[in-house]
Amino acid sequence: MIRAGIVGGTGYTGVELLRILVLHPQVDVSVVTSRADAGSRVDKLYPSLRGYCDLQFSPPELEYLQDCDVVFFATPNGTAMLMAEALLEHGIKVIDLSADFRIKDPAEWEKWYGMQHASPELIDEAVYGLPEVNREQIKQARLIACPGCYPTAVQLGFLPLLEASVVDANGLVADVKSGVSGAGRKAEISSLMSEAGESFKAYAVAGHRHLPEIRQGLARVAGNAVGLTFVPHLTPMIRGIHATLYARLHGRAADLQALFEERYREERFVDVLPAGSHADTRNVRGSNRCQIAVHQPQGGDTVVVLSVIDNLVKGASGQAVQNMNLMFGLAEAAGLETVALYP
Ligand SMILES: NC(=O)C1=CN([C@@H]2O[C@H](COP(=O)(O)OP(=O)(O)OC[C@H]3O[C@@H](n4cnc5c(N)ncnc54)[C@H](OP(=O)(O)O)[C@@H]3O)[C@@H](O)[C@H]2O)C=CC1
Ligand SMILES: CC(=O)N[C@@H](CCC(=O)OP(=O)(O)O)C(=O)O
């Protein structure tokens, strides 16, 4: 059995990792950390885990984690970069759900994240954990930088168009909506039901920290820098990301439906919907799937892609487990086979 540790087990992505890993046939969760709840039982805070997890929360310190085979960081940005090196030195693989190792240029990372990087020497080694792009590198990796939730939905939606060079990569638009769990479990006025409920708004139009991450990923597949306008929105739902993506076709379009179906034919966790469909976040809630629909309205030169994920699963913890499966040579879908909750 693989011994897994979770740093940050009381947050939304931490408890989602627990939900998946306690049922994973090849994993034994051996440590879950929290500073605030150290010493109390995990199933006291999360009674849904009664009978599945007998652990108490431990402090997030090396002495508690050193017998793990893999450690997940479900912590705020700026945490994993302080502990990753020590864990790697102990032969422990690290899967970071935060943004610490996602951006390859440390100066760019420091600009967007407003802090000094504590382990810049590890950035090169970190593999960006989007299996649909980097599967072979992930299999060899010791350190994974899991993509952000917005970047996962946006990159999977644009990928087939950029790989096939059928759109103008300078004029990409990503209009993306997130549920409130994307902001995490910490108390914040903007996440209160009375603030976010019955309302809908864009934010960070001038520049969101996922912009450089998405640009970096798309530039890799396009082979050149891309021009991207990315506008995130907050919607009054709990889970889910809905990305509406726009791009201008170069000339007469190929069969876009066939292009997407072919690109994702072998991908267990990307589902291209039948032509004319409208992707709906409820159909991926609780599952590790990205569902995609591709449209060319009125046969014009604009392609519209609809891409939906559950931010806590394919956008975070499910994708992290998909990466772990690849790193340990397990079946890629182990522990992840589940159908979305409906309604
Ligand atoms: N929510 C989402 O949809 C997504 C989140 N992410 C990323 O995943 C990470 C976790 O997000 P989320 O679960 O929402 O966050 P939460 O705020 O819900 O949880 C954060 C967790 O980290 C622990 N923690 C906080 N500070 C530290 C620290 N300095 N050292 C050790 N542990 C700490 C907290 O427990 P305690 O304070 O008790 O130690 C808590 O368990 C973030 O980097 C986020 O950006 C990525 C994709 C999607
Ligand atoms: C709705 C909401 O607030 N979303 C968060 C992003 C989600 C997230 O957790 O960021 P990472 O994927 O980089 O870890 C935000 O905009 O700050």
Of 6, 13, 321, the one to substitute when testing ligand 1's pocket (max ligand atoms within 8 A of C-beta) is 13
Q: What is the DSSP string of 66-130?
A: TT-SEEEE-S-TTSHHHHHHHHHHTT-EEEE-SSTTT-S-HHHHHHHH-S--S-GGGTTTPEE--
Structure tokens belonging to residue 171: 């004029």
Give yes or no for residue 154 CB within 6 A of ligand 2: no
Q: How many CA atoms lie within 13 A of 33 on its CB side?
A: 21
Flag whether pLDDT at 285 surpasses 90.
Answer: yes
Task: Determine if ligand 2 sits within 6 Å of the CB of residue 178.
Answer: yes
Write the residue with the smallest CA distance to atom 17 of ligand 2: 183
Phi, psi at 293, each rounded to 5°: -125, 140
The mean pLDDT value of the chain amounts to 97
Per residue in 50-96, pLDDT (tens digit) is 999 999 999 999 999 999 999 999 999 999 999 999 999 999 999 99
Overall average pLDDT of the 266-293 stretch: 98
Question: From the alpha carbon of 234, which atom of ligand 2 is closest?
Answer: 1
Strands 2-7 and 27-33: parallel
Q: Cα separation of 138 and 141, whole Å?
A: 5
The reported pLDDT for the residue numbered 254 is 78
Atom of ligand 2 nearest to the CA of 210: 13
Which atom of ligand 2 is closest in space to residue 99's alpha carbon?
Answer: 13
Atom of ligand 1 nearest to the CA of 183: 1
pLDDT mean over 24-42? 98
Model confidence band, residue 103 (pLDDT cutoffs 50, 70, 90): very high
pLDDT of residue 187: 83
- The span from the CA of 205 to the CA of 99, in Å, is 20
Res 106 pLDDT > 90: yes
Q: Is the CB of residue 131 below 6 angstroms from any atom belonging to ligand 1? A: no
For residue 146, what pLDDT is reported? 98
7 Cα: distance to centroid of ligand 1 (angstroms): 9
* Ligand 1 centroid from CA 54, angstroms: 22
Ligand 2 touching residue 182 (CB < 6 A) = yes
% pLDDT > 90, the chain:
96
CB 242 within 8 Å of CB 176: yes
Count of H-run helices and E-run strands, the chain? 11, 14
Q: What pLDDT is stored for residue 252 in this prediction?
A: 72
> Is the distance from the beta carbon of residue 309 to the nearest atom of ligand 2 less than 6 Å?
no
182 lines ligand 1 (CB under 6 A): yes
ipTM of the complex: 0.97
Determine whether 68 is an active site residue: no
Summarize the confidence of residues 181-207 as an average pLDDT: 93
What pLDDT is recorded for position 342?
A: 87
Nearest by Cα to 317 from 188, 147, 64: 147
**Are the beta carbons of 214 and 227 closer than 8 angstroms?**
no
The full set of domain ranges for the chain reads: 2-125, 149-311
| 335 CB near ligand 2 (under 6 Å) | no
Nearest CA to ligand 2 atom 7: 182
Q: What is the 3 state secondary structure string of 159-192?
A: HHHHHCCCECCCCEEEEEEECHHHHCCCCCHHHC
Q: From atom 29 of ligand 1, which residue's Cα is the shortest distance away? A: 79
127 forms beta bridges with 144
Residue by residue, DSSP assigns 229-272 as: EEEEEE-S-SS-EEEEEEEEBSSS---HHHHHHHHTTT-TTEEE
- Quote the pLDDT of residue 261: 98
The yes/no answer on whether domain 149-311 falls in CATH 3.30.360.10 is yes
State pLDDT tens for residues 123-164.
Answer: 999 999 999 999 999 999 999 999 999 999 999 999 999 999
Cβ 244 vs Cβ 306: under 8 Å: yes
In this structure, which ligand is nearest to the CA of 319? 1
Is 90 exceeded by the pLDDT of residue 253? no
Q: pLDDT digit string (tens) for 322-340?
A: 999 999 999 999 999 999 9
Fold of 2-125: Rossmann fold (3.40.50)
- Where b means 16+ CB within 10 Å and e means fewer, 232-261 reads bebbebebbbbbbbbbebeeeeeebbebbb
Measure the CA angle with vertex 77, ends 171 and 32; round to 5°: 130
Ligand 2 atom nearest residue 98's Cα: 14
Nearest to 336 by CA among 100, 319, 193: 319
Q: Catalytic residue among 53, 146, 149, 290, which?
A: 149
Please tell me the distance between residue 98's alpha carbon and the centre of ligand 2 in angstroms: 10
User: Could you tell which of 75, 185, 321 is best to mutate to test the pocket of ligand 1, judged by most ligand atoms within 8 Å of the CB?
Assistant: 75
Q: Which of 130-134, 242-246, 247-251 has the lowest mean pLDDT?
A: 247-251
Confidence of residue 191 (pLDDT cuts 50, 70, 90): confident
Q: With a cut of 90, say whether residue 251 has pLDDT above it.
A: no
